[in-house]
Amino acid sequence: MTTAPRLEALQARIRRRGLDGFLVTQPDNRRYLSGYTACDHGIEETSGVLLIPARGTPLLLTDSRFILQAREEAAGYRVEQYRRGVIPLLEKLLPALSIRTLGFESHYILHATVLRMEKMARRIGCGLVPLSNLVEGMRIIKDREEIGRLRKAVLLNEQVFRLVHSTIEPGMTEREVALAIELTMRELGAERPAFDTIVAFAGNAARPHAVPGERELNTGDLVLIDMGLVLDGYCSDMTRTFIAGRPEKTFTERLRLVRRAQLAATAAIRPGAICRDVDRAARRVIADGGYGDLFGHALGHGVGLAVHEEPRLSPRSRKKLRPGMVVTVEPGIYLPGWGGIRLENMVVVGEEGCELLNRDTTGLDL
Amino acid sequence: MTTAPRLEALQARIRRRGLDGFLVTQPDNRRYLSGYTACDHGIEETSGVLLIPARGTPLLLTDSRFILQAREEAAGYRVEQYRRGVIPLLEKLLPALSIRTLGFESHYILHATVLRMEKMARRIGCGLVPLSNLVEGMRIIKDREEIGRLRKAVLLNEQVFRLVHSTIEPGMTEREVALAIELTMRELGAERPAFDTIVAFAGNAARPHAVPGERELNTGDLVLIDMGLVLDGYCSDMTRTFIAGRPEKTFTERLRLVRRAQLAATAAIRPGAICRDVDRAARRVIADGGYGDLFGHALGHGVGLAVHEEPRLSPRSRKKLRPGMVVTVEPGIYLPGWGGIRLENMVVVGEEGCELLNRDTTGLDL
């Protein structure tokens, strides 16, 4: 992965805003811009930040635990080590680099950290400028290489799903199925799950974010599986809902409704389409079917280095779709007591219309 | 788990600070105070917040995905659902609850979120007060039930370690060993790994936070395993370093040095001891052995609902140890090219001295 063009584009944005530098604290942005792959153990334990001057060599600041990895991976970066945290090192580097106005990622930095940075900045006479989503605005459009990686992640996801799907039988617990999925994905080369795998049987599927438990599968139970993996840094996200055994009529009718909503939304995805209109295309089908109140979440979200990123296909988003955006299409209905149905695919917005990244059709068409 | 006494203690703290309410955004604090176990998908995607008035019924605010789980788990809480995010709901609730000064967790809330909260608060005439570690200050002392859970987590951790340890043989890759560990912990009932398992062979162990790769184990290689799991919400954290085969003299000497440092530090842990003095007890042994520059991290950290929490056994911490604190003791030395040795146990500070939670001695004494 060559990060040089991304860095140039970012430095141009930094200059356009009249800043001398920009501090990158969001880990996916850090990887996108530098190739440095370390994961953070939550926002409180960073494995490093990028200090991007408006011109010239970018810097990666990290601690002794990651210094070797940083030097190997972050091509073109000057790697600096901090011993007492990022802020004391910034206090030295900012004046040395003549950075008098520094932008920072307000949307991915703790409030308490900014309070400490503000004290430091006052001491050295540096202005801090909160910004949001400067790099995310670049990441929203995927380049060819990124689409290739997303495609591979989706295909591996489907391979894992089908392998495990073929082994599901009455008596297995939700936890066992979830474990088999996470195991299989690791065995087949995924870095890790993109999120905690959801496996929900029967009434448990009424929770869109159900946690797999010790419930055993009975013949005739509804099964909802929402799974994602990370391959080469890029995420997949896919949901299937099916019956262990022979589906009865109520299920089939409801599934067909959700599937029609999914197809209607997919057909609405094209360059220039407004996100909330795509959401509405699905929502209208479900409302017309009489389940309008039971589709409580947004239709979909962008996927890339993060499993949830821009754009959001939500009832409120006025963003326009553009070629190279990659989104999920995942309508669902949830009936407390009965269960839930969600169907989720990933698509890439093309020059016209969109391309479905999924091939698997398990349970989609009854 | 009864959370009522914790809640009372927190409300007393809120009143002592002259606040009308307190907003809990940190997920471990949320679980500690409410029993609500949902995990967050990062700080950007909360599964709910607590709004604790200075007196009376506490509230849990969440969205449709988690509403059923919240109602089941958060005994004694009034559960409220938001559709457009937490802030619009707060705008309604704060005046209704007569909350005119609201404390919030500055150390676990995004800067951009606070900017939006400040706008909302101005509209309703509510003052916002940034606080840090109010609940963490309570969590630092573990009660009997918590120590019991930590003990169980450590014992399960050791069981998993020994099972996998007995299967390690030349030809296996770091990734395979890490996968076997994570699989085994899940099979034996752990919720999940407490952090990404570290398995590092030979030179790779020179990185304190090595990522398991495709390197195959050779006879005579050094093996460093740093693993933790979550059981019933509580974390374990343990590191062992050993040789696949017969250790040669250099390794044995270095291991003995690290072990002496660990024992010296453990002996220094008692109520009233200063954290940095405990760190120094280990650091002095390693420096006297000639490896002073190669122990680049702190000696240890608190463990509880979070795998890394207060207190820190670091060269700079002036905090005093008190009964009921649980900390790791994990000195290490790291030699680029050669490898690294780290040994990590968990101890609980008692009424006098401390109690070692670990039983496993694999590789500790050569």
Start-to-end CA distance of chain B, whole Å, equals 42
Alpha-helical runs (H) found in B26-135: 27-34, 67-73, 86-96, 111-124
Amino acid at B138: M
The ipTM (two decimal places) reads 0.83
Mean pLDDT rounded to a whole number for chain A: 96
How far apart CA A102 and CA A82 sit, in angstroms, is 19
Task: For residue A352, give how far its alpha carbon lies from the nearest alpha carbon of chain B (Å).
Answer: 32
Query: Which two structure tokens, joined as six digits, stand for A282?
Result: 């699905």
User: Looking at residue B1, what is its pLDDT?
Assistant: 59
Q: Tell me whether residues B107 and A108 touch, CB distance under 8 A.
A: no
Reported as a single tens digit per residue, the pLDDT across A305-337 is: 999 999 999 999 999 999 999 999 999 999 999
At the topology level of CATH, where does B144-356 sit? Creatine Amidinohydrolase (3.90.230)
Low-confidence ranges of chain B (pLDDT < 50): none
Distance from CA of A258 to the nearest CA of B (A): 18
CATH homologous superfamily of B4-139? Creatinase/prolidase N-terminal domain (3.40.350.10)
Place of tokens 């932008």: A103
Residue of A nearest to B213 (CA): A191
Query: Do B4-139 and B144-356 fold alike per CATH?
Result: no
pLDDT of residue B64: 85
Closest residue in chain A to residue B183, using alpha carbons only: A183
Residue B44 with chain A: CB contacts under 8 Å: 107-108, 308
- Give the nearest partner residue to A207 out of B68, B109, B113, using CB atoms: B68
Give kind and range of the element (H or E) at residue B275: helix B275-288
- A253-264 confidence digits (pLDDT tens): 999 999 999 999
Quote the percentage of chain A above a pLDDT of 90.
92
Q: What is the mean pLDDT of residues A206-224?
A: 93
Domain boundaries along the sequence of chain A: 4-138, 144-356
Of B66, B68, B106, nearest to A112 by CB-CB distance is B106
- Do A182 and B186 lie within an 8 Å CB cutoff? yes
Calpha distance A231→A305 (Å, rounded): 10
Q: Which residue has the higher pLDDT, A84 or A89?
A: A89
Band (A41; pLDDT cuts 50, 70, 90): confident
- pLDDT of residue A201 exceeding 80: yes
Query: Was domain A4-138 assigned CATH 3.30.1330.10?
Result: no
Angle (nearest 5°) at CA B9 between B7 and B11: 70
pLDDT tens-digit series, residues B34-83: 999 998 878 888 999 999 999 999 999 999 889 989 999 999 999 999 98
pTM of the model: 0.85
Residues B169 and B336: their CA atoms lie apart, in Å, by 24
Indicate the pLDDT class of residue A1, thresholds 50, 70 and 90: low
What confidence tier does A65 reach under pLDDT thresholds 50, 70, 90? confident
Q: Who has greater pLDDT, A40 or B167?
A: B167
Q: Residues A58-62: what's their mean pLDDT?
A: 98
Cα distances (angstroms) measured from residue A129 to each of A104, A132, A336: 6, 10, 46
pLDDT of B181-196, one tens digit each? Answer: 998 998 899 999 999 9
Cβ–Cβ < 8 Å for A331, A223: no
Tokens 């850090």 belong to residue: A30
DSSP E strands: which ranges in B87-243?
101-105, 127-131, 192-193, 198-201, 222-227, 229-231, 234-235, 238-243
Q: Which of A110, A208, A211 sits opposite B109 (nearest CB)?
A: A110
Tokens of B234: 């509580």
